[in-house]
Amino acid sequence: MKAVIQRVTKASVTTGRVKVASINDGLLILLGIINEDTQEDITWLSNKIANLRVFGDDQGVMNKSILDINGDAIVVSQFTLHANTKKGNRPSYIKAAKPDVAIPLYEQFVSQLESDLGKRVQTGEFGADMKVELINDGPVTIIIDTKQKG
């Protein structure tokens, strides 16, 4: 699994003309899934995100996690995170898991993150054409790949 995590003061996801998710202070998480991803990846990544210290303390030092600030989260599936641009100018998405594999893993990740955060996690709409709006706070953007955790 690959995640792009952005610290936000505001974020929302719209499909068509319907706003399907909206948060204030928290994290916007773009999630890419491949066929080799497992429950171990889900558990590790969810725990890492829940405890990632990217929010400022009283001295402005990034010492607090989303748990510490009681922040909110939106998870958006994004197969393009696994784009291969090695050959040519048209990215290949062959590594990205197909919906029959990706959807259950995506749903399991959201459920695990809800458990780790102790609150509801908002989501985009899997496979939909979404418009994601955000105000990146900092800016703070972290990329985590569970296949490179060693």
Residues 69-107 have pLDDT tens digits of: 999 999 999 999 999 999 999 999 999 999 999 999 999
Q: What is the mean pLDDT of residues 52-63?
A: 96
pLDDT at 121: 98
Q: Give residue 149's pLDDT.
A: 80
Indicate whether 110 pLDDT > 90. yes
Q: Is pLDDT at 150 greater than 80 in this prediction?
A: no
Are the CB atoms for 144 and 6 separated by under 8 Å? no
Single out the catalytic residue among 14, 78, 112, 146. 78
Domain ranges of the chain: 2-148
| Residue 134 CB burial class (10 angstroms; 0-12, 13-18, ≥19) | middle
Please pick, among 6, 14, 55, 79, the residue that the annotation labels catalytic. Answer: 79
Q: Tokens for 90?
A: 């048209």
Whether 123 is catalytic: no
* 79 tagged catalytic: yes
Options 9, 38, 39, 80, the catalytic residue: 80
Q: Is residue 78 annotated as a catalytic residue, yes or no?
A: yes
pLDDT exceeds 90 at position 30: yes
Q: What is the structure's pLDDT at 45?
A: 98
| Whole-structure pTM value | 0.96
Looking at domain 2-148, its CATH superfamily turns out to be D-tyrosyl-tRNA(Tyr) deacylase (3.50.80.10)
